[in-house]
Amino acid sequence: MTTTQNREQQVVEGVAKGLYIGGSWVDAHDGGTFPVEDPATGNVLCEVADADSEDALRALTAAAGAQGDFAAMAPRERGEILRRAWQLMTERADDLALLMTLEMGKALAESKAEITYAADFLRWFAEEAVRIQGDYKVTANGLGRTWVIRQPVGPCVLITPWNFPLAMGTRKIGPAIAAGCTMVMKPAQLTPLSMNALAQILEEAGLPAGVLNIVTTSSSGSTVAPLLEDPRTRKVSFTGSTEVGRKLMQQASENLLRTSMELGGNAPFIVFEDADLDKAVEGAMIAKLRNIGESCVAANRFYVHESVADDFSSRLADRMGSLKVGRGTDEDVDLGPLIDEDQRGKVAELVDDAVAKGAKSLVGGGKMDGAGYFFEPTVLGGVTSDARLLKEEIFGPVAPVITFSSEDEAVASANDTEFGLVAYVFTEDLRRALRLVEKLETGMIGLNKGLVSNPAAPFGGVKASGFGREGGSEGINEYLEVKHIAVDL
Ligand code: NAP
């Protein structure tokens, strides 16, 4: 065994494989496990505990039992736990990044960037824990007082996707801890190891037993449903597809749960004739290829003014064509594999559909041979308006370019989608930029910038991209109830 293989094995061996319930790592009650795969090789890395509804309800019992004491813990103490966890994540970034690359596929440099981003949510919310605001006012008639306090919502069910195995978790766990909420977390089946490693770190940082409970499972629907029906659950926060978000909303409505929904995207990336094209191509590389294109904020449709479209497309094709695709753990690899064959098949289908309708491939265009779920970085020119990839999330390294001739046309095309998570706009004209940021129907905008994610900013969408905000000073409010106390003097 080589030194590299040795280290990979050690990192996987170092992670707990059980369910984390009430502060202990336990087997699923029926002893069931499921495999975790390396998407670069198709090899099984290890087995983890496979929870069912009985295990999930045990986890909820632990969360409900811990809620009272945790809500009463001093905010400073909750903040310090988060701060220590940030410190530990930062110190162990190399191992955490390797673990993430092994189960998710992205290149090591990208995994490291995610560890920093994920850890920063813990640091940010460590600072927010001591700033939960109340209010005290004289009533309009001067006779009474209105007094408003904010309290933890109570036990939360948190559900996260595989594409950012840690950051999507800390974006929920950080504010929940800061606010004083206990949790049952269900990570994605494809990437459970990173979340277990985070739980080990939070435990080491001093998080009391029962505050965070983790149920890994291969049957998410039947495991989560009883949690949403149980009156002890007070909130569900979900990050994932719009389709599953809709289902969870229906289930949550029975129990009238508070909900936060971070759902799918279909981001337009608009390049005007007055844009700085160097900046636009640089922004496109980030907005398209971060996380191998498997990101809710990935640029999905490139609307480029007809006068600069050829120049932009050929520069983007040159850059994308020169990337090194390979196993994320290998030196100098820029892009790893897609998460699995289903995802790769879907990307291939969308490209084939666009080409059948008239698009031309400027670079790439298909699956790569050999083991793993690799797909060529692809730029498509002359994409027609009926191509499916303009309506659906591609979730892969494919950039479709469509030309436009007027600002109104660009805005209308950009808004012609059920989604509304993020839009990217490249223009050097300040007045045009101001018009655009108001007209685009999205929760976030990258202005001459291909990256909007930042723990200090409110992340979230409108329309079918969901509601609620994670990060920023807004993020903690998702985990707080407002209580008004009326009193006359
Ligand atoms: P997904 O299929 O919706 O799954 C997300 C999570 O929900 C996983 O943990 C999944 O478990 C679980 N799940 C699936 N069906 C469920 C059910 N019936 N009841 C309870 N839980 C259920 O999404 P994905 O493929 O993992 O992630 C990609 C999607 O997430 C994309 O649409 C992307 O845009 C979106 N996303 C949005 C944001 C945002 O902030 N807006 C961020 C990242 C990703 P299993 O793993 O067992 O299926």
Pocket test for ligand 1, best of 220, 228, 419 (most atoms within 8 A of CB): 220
Q: How many angstroms is it from 262 CA to the middle of ligand 1?
A: 9
Pocket test for ligand 1, best of 36, 157, 163, 228 (most atoms within 8 A of CB): 163
Q: How far is CA 70 from CA 62, 66, 88, 345, in A?
A: 12, 6, 22, 46
Q: How many angstroms is it from 248 CA to the middle of ligand 1?
A: 11
Are 275 and 433 contacting, i.e. CB atoms less than 8 angstroms apart? no
Cα 74 to Cα 350: distance, rounded to the nearest angstrom: 52
- Name the packing angle between helices 108-128 and 75-91 (round to 10°): 160
The predicted pLDDT at position 453 comes to 97
User: Is 204 part of the annotated catalytic residue set?
Assistant: no
Cα 90 to Cα 116: distance, rounded to the nearest angstrom: 7
pLDDT at 4 over 90: no
Cα 100 to Cα 453: distance, rounded to the nearest angstrom: 19
Atom number in ligand 1 closest to CA 265: 34
The predicted pLDDT at position 328 comes to 94
pLDDT at 1 over 80: no
Question: Across all residues in the chain, what is the average pLDDT?
Answer: 97
Cα 268 to Cα 420: distance, rounded to the nearest angstrom: 10
Which of 8, 181, 294, 296 is an active site residue?
A: 296
Q: pLDDT per residue over 361-415, tens digit each? A: 999 999 999 999 999 999 999 999 999 999 999 999 999 999 999 999 999 999 9
Q: How many angstroms is it from 280 CA to the middle of ligand 1?
A: 30
The predicted pLDDT at position 485 comes to 98
The predicted pLDDT at position 444 comes to 98
Q: How many angstroms is it from 487 CA to the middle of ligand 1?
A: 45
The predicted pLDDT at position 51 comes to 98
pLDDT at 2 over 90: no
Angle value at C-alpha 439, between 435 and 442, nearest 5 degrees? 130
Ligand 1 is surrounded, with C-beta below 6 A, by 159-164, 168, 186, 188-190, 220-221, 224, 239-241, 244, 247-248, 262-265, 296, 393, 421, 461, 465
Q: How many angstroms is it from 168 CA to the middle of ligand 1?
A: 11
Strand 212-214, strand 378-381: pairing: unpaired
Distant-in-sequence, close-in-space partners of 278: CB < 8 Å, separation ≥ 6: none
Q: How far is CA 117 from CA 132, 317, 370, 451, in A?
A: 23, 29, 32, 12
What is the mean pLDDT of the segment spanning 29-43? 96
Query: Can you list the domains of the chain with their CATH numbers?
Result: 3-263+465-485 (3.40.605.10), 267-454 (3.40.309.10)
What is the mean pLDDT of the segment spanning 319-329? 96
How does residue 169 score in pLDDT terms, banded at 50, 70 and 90? Answer: very high
Pick from 225, 128, 247: nearest CA to 179:
128
pLDDT at 309 over 90: yes
Q: pLDDT per residue over 254-268, tens digit each? A: 999 999 999 999 999
Give, using CA atoms, the residue closest to atom 6 of ligand 1: 161
Q: pLDDT per residue over 172-215, tens digit each? A: 999 999 999 999 999 999 999 999 999 999 999 999 999 999 99
pLDDT at 98 over 80: yes
User: Is 229 part of the annotated catalytic residue set?
Assistant: no
Cα 414 to Cα 444: distance, rounded to the nearest angstrom: 13
Cα 413 to Cα 75: distance, rounded to the nearest angstrom: 47
The predicted pLDDT at position 3 comes to 85
Q: Residues, the chain, total? A: 489
The predicted pLDDT at position 327 comes to 94
Distant-in-sequence, close-in-space partners of 30: CB < 8 Å, separation ≥ 6: 52
